[in-house]
């Protein structure tokens, strides 16, 4: 017997600290001045390139981002540090990712009127894992007191939607009753804050989504009508950090490629058509017209990118509220972005109305989740 999977609750953990574009640019420019002074001779000799200043106007115009939440701003804004400073945790305390994930997961359970005993599976789906093993998901499972099983998965920015497909398929097949898909994203720790091309891009957050059998829902829910995942290899978003680092020549050096790298222009140009086509084909397969989509909850990387996708999918400029952005406040939070938008802007959908979550990013990867509201 198969079951109908549904999203019955979401939860959001937002860090307390924020960094405005003004604070970010001030710190970056102080770092650039310091770098240029320290390397004056080599810059004059032409062996090192001087660092240009960043600009608030550029950041807002190019991305739509106004601020970001972070776990620690002190290190990021210190021109002599330029990365978050986190305290060492002992193996007996919860890891940071698990702590953030548990907060979001508890909120998702509360929103659905559920407790840990109702959950059979935890997936920790995120762009980076705090350690190799044991899986963060198993730690979240233990901290919440969940029976069953748990595992980590990583599809970069599409981790949440790919996780939702995995969980929804298991609910549909009957191997589990319900699953928590948890997305703790500490993007500030893999961002290169010393590179003006990307230093404004990311923020930290955690989201969680509870997926249950529709028949078990404790109130209003979103039926998962269908999911669609696609990948196509690209080096345009890449991070070379990994467990082979120590074994390679210069592997442990402070290397640019051990943090997030992207060719932003190419990503923009290649991903917009890929995503628009993906969404159009996905909904068409289910007999849903673009105009039947009450809402699009898109990946939150770039405002113009979302405007393009919305226009292409709907065949017209999206109405205000049809395609809510949260990136102005949160920046890009990788896999969590579309789930933040969904969790903040979905309650008002009426019975029978459709909406679609769509993530996209490194891989390349695209994941879409077609939903129908039941009140
Ligand atoms: N301040 C001032 N100028 C800056 C700057 C900064 N912080 N960063 C870059 N510039 C300069 C560049 O050096 C470049 O100068 P040039 O024309 O003299 O070479 C110019 O501004 C334009 O830079 P470019 O990188 O081409 O800007 P863009 O319009 O493509 O915007 C992104 C950059 C990253 C915002 C945009 O490409 C993007 O969002 N792409 C998609 C990213 C994405 O979705 N990634 C997924 C990540 S998971």
- Which numbered atom of ligand 1 lies nearest the CA of 197? 8
Q: What is the pLDDT of residues 25-50, one digit of tens each?
A: 999 999 999 999 999 999 999 999 99
Measured CA to CA, the distance from residue 52 to residue 28 in angstroms comes to 10
Measured CA to CA, the distance from residue 324 to residue 329 in angstroms comes to 12
Q: What is the pLDDT of residues 168-213, one digit of tens each?
A: 999 999 999 999 999 999 999 999 999 999 999 999 999 999 999 9
Measured CA to CA, the distance from residue 140 to residue 123 in angstroms comes to 9
Give me 312's structure tokens: 């292409």
Q: Is the CB of 196 under 6 A from ligand 1?
A: yes
**Ligand 1 pocket mutation pick from 25, 53, 62, 263 by most atoms within 8 angstroms of CB:** 62
Give Dmax (Cα) for the chain: 73
Contact 95, 101 (CB under 8 A): no
Measured CA to CA, the distance from residue 25 to residue 230 in angstroms comes to 36
CA nearest to 151, candidates 161, 164, 139, 162: 139
Which residue lies with its CA nearest to atom 30 of ligand 1? 265
**Ligand 1 pocket mutation pick from 24, 197, 271 by most atoms within 8 angstroms of CB:** 197
Q: What is the pLDDT of residue 320?
A: 85
Question: 47 exposed, middle or buried (CB, 10 Å; 0-12, 13-18, 19+)?
Answer: exposed
Q: Is the CB of 32 under 6 A from ligand 1?
A: no
Count, residues in the chain:
375
Average pLDDT rounded to a whole number, residues 143-158: 98
Measured CA to CA, the distance from residue 103 to residue 143 in angstroms comes to 10
Give me 91's structure tokens: 């193996």
CA–centroid distance, 133 to ligand 1, in Å, is 36
CA–centroid distance, 262 to ligand 1, in Å, is 10
82: left (phi over 0), alpha (psi -120 to 50) or beta: left
Which residue lies with its CA nearest to atom 32 of ligand 1? 264
Measured CA to CA, the distance from residue 330 to residue 337 in angstroms comes to 8
Q: Where are the alpha helices (DSSP H) in 174-289?
A: 264-285
Q: What is the pLDDT of residues 273-301, one digit of tens each?
A: 999 999 999 999 999 999 999 999 999 99
Q: What is the pLDDT of residues 299-346, one digit of tens each?
A: 999 999 999 999 999 999 999 899 999 999 999 999 999 999 999 999
Q: Is the CB of 197 under 6 A from ligand 1?
A: yes
Side-chain-facing half-sphere of 186: CA atoms under 13 Å: 19
Sequence-separated (6 or more) residues with CB below 8 Å from residue 81: 75
Which residue lies with its CA nearest to atom 14 of ligand 1? 197
pTM of the model: 0.97
Supply the residues annotated as catalytic: 157
Measured CA to CA, the distance from residue 182 to residue 124 in angstroms comes to 5
């Amino acid at each position: 017997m198969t079951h109908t999977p549904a999203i019955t609750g979401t939860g959001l953990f937002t860090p307390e600290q924020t960094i405005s574009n003004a604070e970010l640019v001030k710190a970056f420019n102080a770092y650039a001045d310091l770098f240029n002074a320290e390397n004056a001779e080599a810059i004059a000799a032409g062996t090192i390139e001087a660092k240009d200043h960043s600009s608030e106007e550029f950041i807002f115009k190019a991305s739509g981002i106004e601020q970001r939440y972070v776990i620690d701003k002190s290190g990021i804004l210190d021109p002599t540090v330029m990365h978050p400073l986190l305290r060492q945790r002992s193996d007996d305390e919860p890891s940071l990712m698990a702590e953030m994930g548990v907060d979001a997961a508890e909120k998702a359970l509360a929103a659905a009127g559920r407790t840990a005993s109702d959950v059979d599976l935890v997936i920790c789906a995120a762009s980076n894992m705090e350690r190799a093993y044991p899986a963060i998901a198993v730690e979240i499972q233990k901290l919440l007191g969940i029976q069953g099983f748990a595992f980590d998965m990583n599809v970069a920015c599409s981790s949440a939607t790919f996780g939702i497909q995995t969980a929804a398929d298991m609910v549909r097949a009957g191997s589990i009753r319900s699953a928590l898909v948890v997305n703790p994203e500490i993007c500030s720790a893999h961002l290169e804050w010393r590179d003006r091309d990307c230093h404004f891009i990311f923020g930290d957050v955690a989201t969680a989504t509870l997926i249950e059998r529709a028949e078990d829902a404790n109130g209003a829910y979103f039926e998962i009508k269908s999911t669609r995942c696609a990948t196509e290899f690209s080096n345009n978003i890449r991070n070379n950090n990994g467990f082979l680092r120590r074994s390679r020549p210069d592997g442990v050096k402070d290397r640019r490629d051990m943090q997030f790298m992207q060719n932003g222009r190419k990503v923009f140009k290649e991903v917009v058509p890929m995503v628009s086509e993906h969404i159009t084909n996905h909904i068409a397969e289910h007999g849903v017209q673009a105009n039947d989509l009450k809402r699009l909850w898109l990946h939150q990387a770039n405002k113009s990118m979302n405007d393009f996708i919305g226009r292409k999918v709907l065949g017209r400029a999206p109405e205000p509220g049809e395609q809510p952005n949260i990136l102005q406040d949160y920046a890009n939070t990788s896999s969590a972005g579309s789930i933040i938008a969904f969790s903040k802007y979905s309650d008002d959908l009426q019975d029978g109305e459709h909406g679609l979550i769509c993530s996209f990013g490194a891989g390349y990867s695209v994941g879409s989740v077609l939903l129908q509201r039941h009140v």
